[in-house]
Structure 1
């Protein structure tokens, strides 16, 4: 009794095994996918809950971080305000410095002018005293403060100063001579 192979269904045993395996896989996916899908859906429900509800330590940490962030923002704002104040102060100092430099330049010019004018006056007055008769100049120098008289005599040529000193009283001539001799005693020698 030989059966013909043509009556048999093609791939019968292999097809049945394959179908059983596919069915088993579908059942497993169905059984295992359900809880997995439920777990996947669960975080979306719990995502609405704050994380802090789950962990008290997390709540403390988050609170501390928020406080720290606020403190840093406040410090940053204070630093920025100080920087603005320093910029304003720098500008004011710069403006005052320029004004002081201008004032100093003006003062130097005024002092220079005053010194030139004073020098011109002293030179003119010295010329007047030395062109006077020594006897008349001596009478005038006798009434002057000795330091003031010594200043004029030291500016005069030696022969004119000698004529005036000769006309002075010995005490006045001595005092003026001492002042003239000691004027540059404290000056450095080199």
Structure 2
């Protein structure tokens, strides 16, 4: 008895494997036919059989439409993925360009600030104080912080006491913000 079971299992599994190999696409196995050959032969007078055959045909048609919609969605998703990948590459290229542009701009700004600091370093303290007292306090504090300490001290000493106190407070606040 034990020797017969494996032989029977192989006998039933082999035809199923052949059918699966023949029909690599399983959706084709479930495709609806307009009139299945021989399905209703001899059963046309049984209403339950006719209703069941129609129900099966309707289900097969719905399955077929669903599989078609799945394939259409797959194609849409593949197109969307291609589009998104292309857009991502473009955005990364733009980001790289922006970053290089920013670094170029920041280098130019640093150079401009260094030139401005050099100009204030060369000025007489009274002249520099007259200009700095008319600048916005945060900008004036930035300049004073970057000057040589001796020149910055002379310029602050030449500014009105109230303005000097404001600039000193701004310089201290800037130093605290940096930390």
Normalised by the length of structure 1, the TM-score is: 0.70
CA distance in 2, matches of 1:106, 1:129: 35
Q: Deviations over 1:107-146 (max 9, x none)?
A: 0000000000000000110111011111111111121111
When the two structures are aligned, how many residues end up with a matched partner?
Answer: 141
Structure 1 residues 118 and 186, CA gap change in structure 2 (3 angstroms): closer
Q: Does 1:154 align with 2:145?
A: yes
Give the drift of 1:157.
Answer: 2.0
Q: Does 1:129 align with 2:123?
A: no
CA distance in 2, matches of 1:166, 1:153: 12
CA distance in 1, matches of 2:104, 2:89: 23
Cα RMSD, aligned residues only: 1.6
CA distance in 2, matches of 1:113, 1:53: 85
Mind listing any 5+ residue stretches in structure 1 that lack a counterpart?
A: 1-46
Give the drift of 1:55.
Answer: 2.9
CA distance in 1, matches of 2:58, 2:163: 89
Q: Does 1:74 align with 2:65?
A: yes
Mind listing any 5+ residue stretches in structure 2 that lack a counterpart?
A: 1-37
Normalised by the length of structure 2, the TM-score is: 0.74
